[in-house]
């Protein structure tokens, strides 16, 4: 080792050169605008396409949109939806979901169930804060799904618009598919032997 190199090394050791060299990086970042969000005090603005918790929706008059057709259950790759449907006693030919469960612990938030629904009864919201110590509370039942849908109706509708499943115009309010109207009275007379 030459005398020059040795002198340089001694000087660097005496002046703590490596420490100052490393501090340069720290000082440089002190002048940058921080990009870290102080969650939960600060929260990101989520896009309308965000796939958060699922919710069930009602029509404007308060009727449940879901007709219990099970298509969402069939489309779900995680097998985490369970629909039990019954015929509506007051409206013959029409069915409704008497029970509806989504096991959110298994959901992969793919959105296939929303796409499969012919009446846009399901939508995703921007809700993502449902961590819990008891995973049994993550089996969302019908009441909880309608609660989410009601509380986050604007976000749910924006999700449907953003995914081009429903248009944000007046004439598309009545949705893509109409289930048969109720049979008010029979078109055939009752056979004699039955009357
Ligand atoms: S988002 Fe995907 S995984 Fe979750 S319930 Fe719907 S279809 Fe199933
Ligand atoms: S949410 Fe839609 S797809 Fe699922 S059972 Fe109800 S109507 Fe059918």
Condensed to tens digits (0 to 9), the pLDDT of residues 12-53 reads: 888 889 899 999 999 988 888 878 888 889 888 899 999 999
- Write down the pLDDT at residue 183: 47
Mean pLDDT, rounded, for 49-64 = 93
The closest ligand to the CA of 97 turns out to be: 2
Q: By alpha-carbon position, which residue is closest to atom 6 of ligand 1?
A: 113
Q: What's the 100 CA to ligand 2 centre distance in angstroms?
A: 9
Confidence band for 90, pLDDT divided at 50, 70 and 90:
confident
Residue among 119, 142, 148, 156 whose CB has most ligand 2 atoms within 8 A, to mutate? 119
Q: Give the H or E element holding residue 2.
A: none
Residue 116: which residues within 8 A CB-CB, separation 6 or more? 71, 72, 74, 75
CA-65 nearest atom, ligand 2: 7
> Per-residue DSSP letters for 95-164?
EEEEEEEEETTT-----HHHHH-TT--EEE-S------S-GGGGEE-HHHHHHHHHHTHHHHHHHHHHTT
């Amino acid at each position: 080792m030459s005398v020059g190199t040795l002198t340089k090394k001694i000087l660097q050791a005496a002046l703590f050169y490596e420490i100052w060299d490393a501090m340069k990086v720290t000082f440089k970042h002190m002048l940058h605008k921080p990009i870290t969000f102080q969650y939960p005090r600060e929260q990101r603005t989520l896009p309308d396409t965000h796939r958060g918790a699922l919710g069930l929706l009602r029509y404007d008059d308060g009727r449940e949109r879901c007709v219990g057709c099970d298509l969402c259950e069939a489309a779900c790759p995680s097998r985490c939806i369970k629909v039990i449907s019954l015929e509506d006693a007051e409206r013959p030919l029409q069915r409704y979901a008497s029970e509806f469960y989504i096991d959110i612990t298994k959901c992969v938030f793919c959105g296939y169930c929303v796409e499969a629904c012919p009446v846009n009864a399901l939508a995703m919201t921007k809700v993502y804060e449902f961590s819990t110590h008891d995973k049994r509370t993550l089996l969302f039942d019908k009441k909880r799904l309608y609660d989410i849908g009601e509380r986050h109706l604007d976000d749910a509708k924006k999700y449907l618009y953003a995914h081009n499943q429903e248009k944000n115009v007046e004439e598309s309010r009545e949705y893509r598919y109409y289930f048969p109207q109720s049979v008010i009275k029979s078109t055939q007379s009752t056979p004699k032997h039955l009357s």
